Amino acid sequence: MGLVRTGVALDSDLLRRFDRLLAGESYENRSEALRDLIRNRLNEARVQSGEGFVVGAITLIYDHHHRLLPERLTELQHRYHEVIISTVHSHLDHDLCLEVVVVKGELKRVQELGSRLIGLKGVQHGKLVMSSPDSYGRRTRNGTNRNTATDHRHPD
Ligand code: NI
């Protein structure tokens, strides 16, 4: 992927406000911030299209004493096992649990799982974060090779 330089005309006030916003964040430069905005927007559009392959995480905070909640969480995760890579559970204190369900698969199925888990009675806070590899140019070979979609090497 080669870099292409492009010029964008912005009104000075807009740019000033953008720079002020960046000052509070940890971007190395304005270009990287703009690239991130574009990527986020592309990702959003892809996710809103309602189709395709996504990776992500569902974060849940709940009180494990809540009647039948742990059983319901387990039951649902078994029902959607094909889109779940792993689940991390952390006991935050005597009552509260934090569970992160790492997901990968069809957007619709992942969204369905997310809303069902988050919608369970007793879940105090829940959030589904998704990213569409297609939106940043990763070929996922729709249909057949989804499991190898993110195959890559790590340095030794
Ligand atoms: Ni726990």
Write down the domain spans for the chain.
14-48, 53-136
Distance in Å, CA 130 to ligand 1 centroid: 24
pLDDT at 62: 97
Q: How confident is the model at residue 25 (pLDDT cuts 50, 70, 90)?
A: confident
**Does residue 60 register a pLDDT over 90?**
yes
Distance in Å, CA 116 to ligand 1 centroid: 19
Distance in Å, CA 90 to ligand 1 centroid: 6
Distance in Å, CA 138 to ligand 1 centroid: 36
Distance in Å, CA 133 to ligand 1 centroid: 32
Distance in Å, CA 89 to ligand 1 centroid: 6
Cβ count within 10 A of residue 71: 9
pLDDT of 108-133, one tens digit each?
999 999 999 999 999 999 999 999 88
User: What superfamily in CATH does domain 53-136 come from?
Assistant: ACT-like. Chain A, domain 2 (3.30.70.1150)
Distance in Å, CA 92 to ligand 1 centroid: 7
Mean pLDDT for 32-56 is 88
**Does residue 99 register a pLDDT over 80?**
yes
Stronger pLDDT, 135 or 115, i.e. the higher one: 115
Cβ pair 89, 101 in contact under 8 A: no
Calpha distance 128→111 (Å, rounded): 8
Distance in Å, CA 105 to ligand 1 centroid: 26
Stronger pLDDT, 145 or 64, i.e. the higher one: 64
pLDDT at 28: 81
Distance in Å, CA 91 to ligand 1 centroid: 4
